[in-house]
Amino acid sequence: MTQGIASLLFAILFAGALPTRALAAPVARPLSFASVAQTALQDNLQLRAAAFDVAVAQAQLAQARGAKLPQANLSGSYTRNQEQPLLADPNVYAASLVVSYPLSTGGNLEARIRLAEANVRGAQATYERTKQQIVFAAEQTYLQALLAAESVAAAQRSLAVANESLRVAQVRFSAGAGARLDVLQAEVAVASAEQALVQAQTGVGNAQANLNALINLPLDTPLALTDTLTPRPVDIALADAIARALRERADLAALRNRIEAAQAGIDVAQSGGAPTFGFGAGYALSNANGLSTTIFGGWLVTLGVTLSVFDGGITQAQIREAQLQLEQLKLREAQIRQQVELDVRVAALALQRAAGELTAATKAVEQGRESVRLATVRYQSGVGTSLELLTAQSNLALAEQSLASARFNQNAARIQLILAMGSQ
């Protein structure tokens, strides 16, 4: 009786030490092609750095605009002098409030504001181009992951066909209707298919890790890609695509704003030789440097004029520097315009080539499947050879892989064209 109770207690304690349930496998996170771009943009470090550039440019613009507003300065002081007969009070007090306003700076402040505004627009354009590049990278990586998944599916089909061929060869050999060589060749085909499957599965792991890194997820996060490499149409003429790119490319817009900033920089440099006018008004309190025990107050008004008579040629050198920078940026704009058009043409040609490859690859798969069907019938009827069947199966596997690559190339060329046109 005692031994039975002890056994029961031991069983209860041992059962409590076991986990109540097995650890559940991590649930794959669904991810669509439409959502991968927005996911990649969330908390992207490169995009956050570009956003800081915009914020800095906006702060610089606020400074430039603030320089044209009235400035108020409040000052005060206290001095303790050594007691002397002439001083009524050794304690010296002074306080003043002065408001100043730049009447004219020779266009300097206005030019600095235009320069800062152009810099803000340029930073915003750079920010938009960064977003477009991140979206492109995310979509391209997603497509690579889809291609890896299709490679696994094709490898699995090839392995299934190879296993079936091996089964048929073994049955024929057992029945005395086939040769041992047919079995050996089928076994080699199975081994090759298994190796191809392992390589394809490794490619899926690498592609998903790259995609996780790009969308800011732990690298081991399982993903369930909900889209396929179905070709997506592109309906735009080459001339329209080029015109759109020259109009909307953010990097070209950023350079145009740099040109505007350089033009404003010339005005800033030229203002160095112009007179400046300033107006100031205020109220001051003091006890006459200690000569009085009473604190007196008085108004003050100032109108100041400043003109640089000679600065050693600094202003002219600054003007020349600004003009050279402007010419350099204009030359750079011509180069960028040429590069933009080249980007669009290259992407359009890649899209055109991918369409041709897709048509040819689709036909090759259809022909490969028919060849496998006929080779299978011939082999099972004893008319064909195992080598003929294995060759047909190998050609079909290659055709299916080529079709997957062609579908990937079509999608990749499409998003490359979108990037070249300056769209997301």
Both tokens of 365, joined, read: 């798969």
pLDDT on residue 273: 83
The domains found in the chain, sorted by start residue, are: 33-421 (1.20.1600.10)
CB atoms within 10 A of CB 283: 13
**What is d(CA 99, CA 76) in angstroms, rounded to the nearest whole number?**
15
Is the separation of the CB atoms in 385 and 379 below 8 Å? yes
The count of C-alpha atoms lying within 13 angstroms of the C-alpha of 289, restricted to the half-sphere facing its C-beta, is 2
Look up residue 62 and give its two tokens.
Answer: 């606020």
pLDDT tens, residue by residue, 42-89? 878 888 889 999 999 999 999 999 999 999 999 999 888 777 766 677
Q: How far is CA 188 from CA 14, 165, 181, 192, 392, in A?
A: 50, 11, 11, 6, 15
Please write the tens of the pLDDT for every residue from 187-228.
898 899 899 899 999 999 999 999 998 888 888 889 999 999
Exposed / middle / buried, residue 89 (Cβ in 10 Å: 0-12, 13-18, 19+): middle
Question: Which is it for the CA torsion 176, 180, 185, 191, positive or negative?
Answer: positive
The C-alpha atoms of residue 230 and residue 232 are separated, in whole angstroms, by 6
> Which stretch of DSSP H or E encloses residue 297?
strand 296-306
Q: What is the DSSP string of 265-281?
A: HHHHHHGGGS-EEEEEE
Alpha helices by DSSP H, listed for 271-385, are 314-380
Beta partners for residue 104, in sequence order: 277
pTM, to two decimals: 0.80
- pLDDT of the chain, 424 residues: tens digit per residue: 444 444 433 343 334 444 444 445 578 889 999 899 898 898 788 888 899 999 999 999 999 999 999 999 999 998 887 777 666 777 888 899 999 999 888 899 999 999 999 999 999 999 999 999 999 999 999 999 999 998 898 888 888 888 888 888 888 788 887 788 888 888 898 899 899 899 999 999 999 999 998 888 888 889 999 999 999 888 899 999 999 999 999 999 999 999 999 999 999 998 888 898 988 999 998 887 767 777 888 898 999 888 888 888 888 998 999 999 999 999 999 999 999 999 999 999 999 999 999 999 999 999 999 998 998 888 778 788 877 888 888 888 889 889 999 999 999 999 999 999 998 6
Rounding to the nearest 10 degrees, give the CA dihedral for residues 162, 166, 171, 174.
170
Report in angstroms the alpha-carbon separations of 314 from 9, 308, 324, 328: 97, 11, 15, 21
At position 233, the amino acid (one-letter code) is P
